[in-house]
Chain A
């Protein structure tokens, strides 16, 4: 028997649903009476951090979200930016961290599935997937298991539905051990007139349900994902929602066909908090009410209660509103694809979400109270002690005795090593538009029917963010933009996935606040607004938070596909240029982690003005077709960047001379730097376009890497093969460790 209204209050049953005493009182006040069990469930789910952003809202408000190109900012399923020719790019990034920590295969798979629904619920055809992964350093069997399964899960969903994964990144650090971060981004294309919104408008119009049946899986997923993970033996986890890419493909194709019909009023996917959030948010955003007859909801199991149906997070389900009298048109479309669709309610004018089950009204709550009026928390923020300590440290150059062996060791670090083991499991070329596949700075797809491209990347160096959240936030955005520029694209907008620890800890909240400030500053400096995003809090295991990881997913416009530029050197004889000088930047560097086993000190500094000027200059040179190859310098510094340009080139080498102190020149992670190669005949034009580019050497055909200093002393010399073997084999080697 379901508890009665009195029991919910007296036995404080709302606490099991993740609500505080204050929140329950707040709900009671907004309702004017005590909420019953089902209503309490609705409040708890819609007011979870995942759905309401109650702790993060005051911070998120600070993000720049508007711009000339922005057609839809944060608040809908996905953000939309204009890309010219009446077309727009639609994208969003989402976390699926908690499910992936429990059941990595289906957790990661449903992450991809969910964010794809966010995109096609706007009426856009998804054209590419990007992912951002953070795992423990793979020395523990549990982390290897989580990593392998999560990659396989993402592959199964993306490959199954036939959408290419064209970019991504993976970093490994033990702060993510047993608590991985799995962030998925989907990018879609749409013509302006086809843009749909999640609105339930027009009294009497029909509310319809399509897709999978509703089961008891994922109940309270939104609440769970807003809670910390405690690892204890024999603990019971909730039943996880499993994904079905086959069904999603059919649902997607049907929804995109439906989106072309003027009978459609609005559409939203049933993601976090399922039917509750879809119905309440669609009603609230349109200023109407919705009445649902739950007897009509397709159910997977017998005897499901209203509470269970509303809180289920069964996957591959969509809610939409159809003009009254035209339901058959929608039914015919879904029938063609063999997808179940059914009318389950109608739009009302009383702004209430009303649920009828077995002839009785079982819940009646103002839609705005659920979707809009969640309490907002202004959390306490406190600068952590470690920050003062790190800021006060004097940074010195690390001592390295053997440069060559150090470079090899860096190339074998999982965060730097080749990610081929991951992306060769993804169908990177499905739909036949992939111009640049994973392995370069950013992925690039052709915009069908035009000569334009969309470049995309995801980035975040969480070590920098931990050492200095504001600077780290700036760097995350700047690095993403650098990756796009290196690929020949103009950065136009970004989505974010803000992964943090428990926001009730003032030090964690401070990290959140400061990194958001950094992101905002970089967005303004680089002219790229935030158009969508996601917050994932309480990424902690047994009280220990992960590094603050505000992942940035960024999209750029390649104005002409002939501008597309990749990482690898193209021809012997091309001149190698470095843009930006190295200085002492070892705080949070791969070298520091390698030598000390931990990170300390100050994060690399960044000057956003310098960053913007260099990005603009390089992009101009690329657009004038003066640049043969380009890459930004990031983890591991110059030597690693040079190697990557050689490895992908198939048979080339490099001979360079670098200025300054060897360790800094080779391994420092100084920001705002690029490494490019230029054909002899373009040297003059290139140098006049990119003023601070310095010639450092030449591409060779001897399959050797040689790096000298200004005094002509050889610092590193070896065959490409020696270095490449380390870099290519590292991930597989770690994964082969005995469990």
Chain B
């Protein structure tokens, strides 16, 4: 399976994603610089990594949304192939309306690093089939804009469509509506999440619960 990792200027966690997908899972993964985004079509899945694209200027993800690369990412998403945005990648997908909602500043107004206990709310999505529904998993997070917001009407719609994938089980929800940590689009092929699965794929680094997310994607495509 061929994974593309879409890199915007400032997407510092591109290496994290590359090492997880290529180094640990042993899959083919290519860093695609944003000006080469028309090549995305040649890949089976796209990751939009974390970091601080365009220095988080204006608003995290806002400038990436307006970049030329976004046209190709949108086309890729519309083709039905899987797209995953983590951390800043989620912020970009939300800004671009590829997933519902928006990310506000954490309720403490500070950057926060740590690990969260999450509940897998939907284990039938193509990103979570290796988990079981209601399972508790632990994933790291590191963000200043991790406070998920969505209006009441959309929230109800998301619940009906099973678009809520992960929720925070502990108090570290950063103020998120309905304790939401990760969501998919209506079609189910675009996932955005603030916790960082690529940092939880090796025992030596402390956590391994992210591994099955990548395995789920592989299973779906193969």
Known contacts A245-B52, A429-B140, A424 near B113 by CB under 8 Å = yes
A425, B204: Cβ atoms under 8 Å?
A: no
| Bound Cα distance A423, B110 (Å) | 12
Q: Smallest CB-CB separation from A453: which chain B residue?
A: B204
Answer yes or no: B175 CB below 8 A from chain A CBs.
Answer: no
| Bound Cα distance A156, B56 (Å) | 11
User: Which residues of B approach A to under 8 Å, CB–CB?
Assistant: 9-10, 12-13, 15-16, 19-20, 33, 51-52, 54-57, 110-114, 140, 142, 144, 198-199, 204-205
Answer yes or no: A378 CB below 8 A from chain B CBs.
Answer: no
B204, A435: Cβ atoms under 8 Å?
A: yes
Q: List 27 A-B contacts (CB under 8 A).
A: A159-B111, A159-B144, A160-B10, A162-B13, A244-B55, A246-B54, A249-B12, A337-B9, A423-B113, A425-B110, A425-B112, A425-B113, A426-B111, A427-B111, A428-B113, A429-B113, A429-B205, A430-B13, A430-B142, A431-B12, A431-B13, A431-B15, A431-B16, A432-B20, A432-B199, A434-B205, A448-B19
What mask results when residues 442 to 471 of chain A are scored 1 for a CB within 8 Å of chain B, else 0? 000010100000000000000000000000
Smallest CB–CB gap between B122 and chain A, Å? 26
| Bound Cα distance A161, B55 (Å) | 8
| Bound Cα distance A433, B57 (Å) | 27
B55, A246: Cβ atoms under 8 Å?
A: yes
Residues on B with beta carbons closer than 8 Å to the beta carbon of A429: 113, 140, 142, 199, 205
| Option from A337, A424, A430 in Cβ contact (under 8 Å) with B12 | A430
Residues on A with beta carbons closer than 8 Å to the beta carbon of B114: 424
Residues on A with beta carbons closer than 8 Å to the beta carbon of B10: 160, 246, 249-250
| Bound Cα distance A458, B16 (Å) | 26
| Bound Cα distance A652, B57 (Å) | 45
What mask results when residues 327 to 338 of chain A are scored 1 for a CB within 8 Å of chain B, else 0? 000000000111
Q: Which 9 residue pairs of A and B lie closest in terms of their CB atoms, listed nearest first?
A: A162-B12, A246-B55, A427-B142, A432-B16, A425-B111, A160-B52, A246-B10, A155-B111, A162-B51
Residues on B with beta carbons closer than 8 Å to the beta carbon of A448: 19
B56, A160: Cβ atoms under 8 Å?
A: yes
Of B55, B114, B144, chain A has the most CB atoms within 10 Å of the CB of: B55
Q: Smallest CB-CB separation from B53: which chain A residue?
A: A246
| Bound Cα distance A10, B31 (Å) | 62
Residues on A with beta carbons closer than 8 Å to the beta carbon of B54: 246
Smallest CB–CB gap between A665 and chain B, Å? 35
Residues on B with beta carbons closer than 8 Å to the beta carbon of A245: 52, 55
What mask results when residues 390 to 427 of chain A are scored 1 for a CB within 8 Å of chain B, else 0? 00000000000000000000000000000000011111
Known contacts A246-B57, A425-B113, A428-B113, A161 near B19 by CB under 8 Å = no
Residues on A with beta carbons closer than 8 Å to the beta carbon of B13: 162, 430-431
Answer yes or no: A707 CB below 8 A from chain B CBs.
Answer: no
Q: Smallest CB-CB separation from A446: which chain B residue?
A: B204
| Bound Cα distance A433, B113 (Å) | 15
Answer yes or no: A561 CB below 8 A from chain B CBs.
Answer: yes
B205, A426: Cβ atoms under 8 Å?
A: no
A561, B204: Cβ atoms under 8 Å?
A: yes
Answer yes or no: A304 CB below 8 A from chain B CBs.
Answer: no
| Bound Cα distance A162, B56 (Å) | 12
Residues on A with beta carbons closer than 8 Å to the beta carbon of B16: 430-432
Smallest CB–CB gap between A601 and chain B, Å? 40
Of B56, B111, B198, B199, chain A has the most CB atoms within 10 Å of the CB of: B111
Known contacts A337-B9, A425-B113, A430-B16, A159 near B52 by CB under 8 Å = yes
| Bound Cα distance A429, B198 (Å) | 11
Answer yes or no: A71 CB below 8 A from chain B CBs.
Answer: no
What mask results when residues 154 to 175 of chain A are scored 1 for a CB within 8 Å of chain B, else 0? 0110011111000000000000
Q: Smallest CB-CB separation from B16: which chain A residue?
A: A432
Smallest CB–CB gap between A37 and chain B, Å? 37
Q: Smallest CB-CB separation from A250: which chain B residue?
A: B9
B205, A336: Cβ atoms under 8 Å?
A: no
Residues on A with beta carbons closer than 8 Å to the beta carbon of B140: 429
Q: Smallest CB-CB separation from A451: which chain B residue?
A: B204
Answer yes or no: A247 CB below 8 A from chain B CBs.
Answer: yes
B112, A336: Cβ atoms under 8 Å?
A: no
Smallest CB–CB gap between B36 and chain A, Å? 10
| Bound Cα distance A161, B33 (Å) | 17
Besides the contacts A152-B111, A431-B12, what 13 more A-B pairs have beta carbons closer than 8 Å?
A: A155-B111, A160-B12, A160-B56, A246-B52, A247-B55, A337-B9, A423-B113, A425-B113, A431-B16, A432-B15, A432-B19, A435-B205, A448-B19
| Bound Cα distance A338, B19 (Å) | 25
| Bound Cα distance A178, B178 (Å) | 43
Residues on B with beta carbons closer than 8 Å to the beta carbon of A247: 55
What mask results when residues 544 to 580 of chain A are scored 1 for a CB within 8 Å of chain B, else 0? 0000000000000000010000000000000000000
A432, B55: Cβ atoms under 8 Å?
A: no
B199, A161: Cβ atoms under 8 Å?
A: no
Smallest CB–CB gap between A126 and chain B, Å? 11
Known contacts A160-B55, A435-B204, A427 near B199 by CB under 8 Å = no
| Option from A161, A246, A424, A433 in Cβ contact (under 8 Å) with B112 | A424
Q: Smallest CB-CB separation from A244: which chain B residue?
A: B55
| Bound Cα distance A726, B16 (Å) | 36
Residues on B with beta carbons closer than 8 Å to the beta carbon of A430: 12-13, 16, 142
| Option from A160, A250, A426 in Cβ contact (under 8 Å) with B113 | A426
B9, A338: Cβ atoms under 8 Å?
A: yes
| Bound Cα distance A133, B121 (Å) | 43
Residues on A with beta carbons closer than 8 Å to the beta carbon of B51: 162
| Bound Cα distance A434, B12 (Å) | 15
Of A160, A336, A429, chain B has the most CB atoms within 10 Å of the CB of: A429
Smallest CB–CB gap between A288 and chain B, Å? 35
| Bound Cα distance A432, B52 (Å) | 16
| Option from B12, B111, B198 in Cβ contact (under 8 Å) with A161 | B12
| Bound Cα distance A426, B144 (Å) | 10
| Bound Cα distance A159, B52 (Å) | 8
| Option from A161, A246, A425, A432 in Cβ contact (under 8 Å) with B205 | A432
Smallest CB–CB gap between A94 and chain B, Å? 22
What mask results when residues 353 to 394 of chain A are scored 1 for a CB within 8 Å of chain B, else 0? 000000000000000000000000000000000000000000
What mask results when residues 69 to 109 of chain A are scored 1 for a CB within 8 Å of chain B, else 0? 00000000000000000000000000000000000000000
Of B15, B113, B142, chain A has the most CB atoms within 10 Å of the CB of: B113
Smallest CB–CB gap between B112 and chain A, Å? 6
| Bound Cα distance A249, B10 (Å) | 7
Residues on B with beta carbons closer than 8 Å to the beta carbon of A155: 110-111
Q: Smallest CB-CB separation from A426: which chain B residue?
A: B113
Smallest CB–CB gap between B40 and chain A, Å? 18
A152, B33: Cβ atoms under 8 Å?
A: no
Smallest CB–CB gap between B156 and chain A, Å? 34
Q: Smallest CB-CB separation from B17: which chain A residue?
A: A432
Q: Smallest CB-CB separation from A159: which chain B residue?
A: B111
Q: Smallest CB-CB separation from A148: which chain B residue?
A: B110
| Bound Cα distance A426, B113 (Å) | 6
| Bound Cα distance A159, B51 (Å) | 8
| Option from A162, A338, A561 in Cβ contact (under 8 Å) with B52 | A162
Smallest CB–CB gap between A125 and chain B, Å? 10
Residues on B with beta carbons closer than 8 Å to the beta carbon of A425: 110-113
| Bound Cα distance A249, B56 (Å) | 13
Smallest CB–CB gap between A369 and chain B, Å? 40
| Bound Cα distance A426, B141 (Å) | 11
Residues on A with beta carbons closer than 8 Å to the beta carbon of B52: 159-160, 162, 245-246
Smallest CB–CB gap between B206 and chain A, Å? 8
A432, B198: Cβ atoms under 8 Å?
A: yes
| Bound Cα distance A435, B111 (Å) | 21
| Bound Cα distance A163, B205 (Å) | 16
| Bound Cα distance A163, B16 (Å) | 11
Q: Smallest CB-CB separation from B52: which chain A residue?
A: A160
| Bound Cα distance A250, B15 (Å) | 15
Smallest CB–CB gap between A559 and chain B, Å? 15
Residues on A with beta carbons closer than 8 Å to the beta carbon of B205: 429, 432-435, 446
Q: Smallest CB-CB separation from B54: which chain A residue?
A: A246
Residues on A with beta carbons closer than 8 Å to the beta carbon of B20: 432
Smallest CB–CB gap between A139 and chain B, Å? 22
